[in-house]
Chains A and B, each alone.
Chain A
């Protein structure tokens, strides 16, 4: 389901126009970008789980062909941690 399908489905359910829904979605997403930009570590994502910032350590990698060794710097990545209920629901799904 891509963003467009998501918005049209939402507008159908809420009885709002596509434009209104798009505006709400934008605000919703901007709230995350702003808060993460301000240094939040963890924000709830609906009641499906949390979006959290994880710290990836620096590491040494070796190019298998040239054998050059490189030091990859540490970085912060955004990860999604599903809530227990979502995890269980998804876990018990049969293979698509």
Chain B
């Protein structure tokens, strides 16, 4: 917008403004600077009313990797300056965009894509194609009045490779015919292929098209013919002028969802579909919002496909020729990827099978080992039980030999037992040598009870109640008796928030954080 202002120019402007001499102003600014610096370095905080707050933020030391050599390096802890503008200045700066408001997005968009993970992303378009094949088959059988072909139509089998190649030959041979059959067919096929509910028009033209095909005796080898259609939809480069706007948007959508790599992209693609004309009212609203935002915000440019869904469908149309080509390539990629996945999977199963057999032979050894483990376990458990149940144990005086307890200790433990149902947790082996950490934790005093709702997180509760999210293991330990998996607590569960000794949950003590992290690693396997 404007040219860069140097600090000298700024000082001069300020001098003009106040009517002071340039020298006075320079002196003032120098002193102001040194005072601000002093405030920052001594207090870590400087407030200038009307402007904002400068604050020093401590960044904890962390491990990183030298990008050139790949060596692990330690980044020392250091301060950074953060600036929070005052509300008045913040509003002035945001003035040009202040009219924009948060828009609630409609909830009825398909959610499948956002919940899929990993390999499923690949199967998504495949599933779609399979559905399309099914639809085409139905239409054909309607026309012919009977079942046409029995072979399976899962388009992604290895067996289909051959079919596809032969189909390609066929397409080549029938190049002239194809031309006579004309553009209408291609467009119609594309339409059916993308399965957008564009409605009656499509059905009508499909009928017409297959009518003409019947005339030329093409439909006899429907199985292959069908594939040819599919293939052509995938590979035929549709010039943008030939394609209606809505249709091109649809194709863009398709190719997007094939090229999917992350959830956000998937959801963006889904949004596109919604805008493609499924629900006119909604899409109009969206396009409106998108247009508003994009006009203000366009210089962001390639801000990523995430945002594209919110720009108008026009843009999608403009980018179609590219996406069609992209689609052609990604089609090949998807085929390759699926083959590779299948190969790897069979390999893994084979290896795993073999390994199972091998391990089956050495099973006895494994059993012995686990038996040892079992023998060792009760001892450890006795340790903790002995501490909490000493009331009983003291009476019977049948203490386990490995737990030497003085009478005083047993008395103390008994008191604890009376006061509350002590939940004791065996200490986790730690490198931190603070007595506090080595002692086992006993949870009998609770400050509060929290009900788990959808979206609750132990870490968040810990952040709210204990001051730092790394302290979540303590809450978990206090409730171990009724939750088994800290990552999966059912809704409605009541959690007790323990009162912990302050030296254990001291957010400023790096040892506490370190120990809590160790606990985190211990529990979050």
Contacts and interface: CB of A to CB of B under 8 A. Distances in A.
Contact of B81 (A53, A86, A95): A86
B102 A70 contact: yes
A46 B83 contact: no
A46 B105 contact: no
Interface string B72-108: 0000011111110100111011111100111111010
Contacts of B107: 67-69
A37 B29 contact: no
A17 interface: no
Contacts of B105: 60, 68-71
A41 B96 contact: no
A29 B141 CA distance: 78
Nearest to A65: B455
Contact of A80 (B28, B78, B82): B82
Interface string B56-83: 1010000000000000000001111111
A32 B31 CA distance: 18
**Size bracket, chain B contacts:** 35 or more
A26 B50 CA distance: 8
A96 B44 contact: yes
B300 A43 contact: no
Contact of A6 (B6, B39, B58, B310): B39
Given A46-B29, A55-B300, A70-B105, A33 B81 contact: no
Interface string A44-65: 1011110101010111100011
Contacts of B92: 33, 36-37
A27 B14 contact: yes
A76 interface: yes
Given A13-B35, A76-B94, A43 B10 contact: yes
B5 A48 contact: no
A5 to B, nearest CB: 7
B310 A80 contact: no
B89 A75 contact: no
Contacts of B31: 10, 13-14
B2 A71 contact: no
Contacts of B101: 73
Contact of A58 (B40, B51, B88, B307): B307
A63 to B, nearest CB: 8
B321 to A, nearest CB: 27
Contact of B297 (A2, A55, A65, A90): A55
Interface residues of A, number: 67
Nearest to A42: B4
A78 B44 contact: no
A57 B302 CA distance: 11
B79 A90 contact: yes
Given A58-B307, A80-B54, A3 B49 contact: yes
A72 interface: yes
B18 A75 contact: no
Contacts of A92: 78
B36 interface: yes
Contacts of B46: 1, 6
B51 A76 contact: no
Interface in B1-35: 1-2, 4-7, 10, 13-14, 17-18, 27-29, 31-35
A21 to B, nearest CB: 8
Contact of A78 (B40, B54, B93, B96): B93
B160 to A, nearest CB: 38
Interface in B243-290: 267, 289
B47 interface: yes
B37 A48 contact: yes
Contacts of B4: 42
Contacts of B375: none
B296 interface: yes
B41 A93 contact: yes
A35 B2 CA distance: 10
A87 B364 CA distance: 63
A84 B267 CA distance: 41
Contacts of A26: 50
Interface of B: 1-2, 4-7, 10, 13-14, 17-18, 27-29, 31-52, 54, 56, 58, 77-83, 85, 88-90, 92-97, 100-105, 107, 267, 289, 293, 296-297, 299-300, 303, 306-307, 310, 453-455
Closest 9 CB pairs of A and B: A80-B83, A73-B100, A1-B39, A64-B455, A29-B50, A44-B7, A46-B33, A69-B105, A65-B455
Interface of A: 1-3, 5-6, 9-10, 13-14, 23-33, 35-44, 46-49, 51, 53, 55, 57-60, 64-65, 67-80, 82, 86-87, 89-93, 95-96
7 contacts: A1-B46, A6-B36, A36-B89, A57-B307, A73-B97, A73-B293, A90-B79
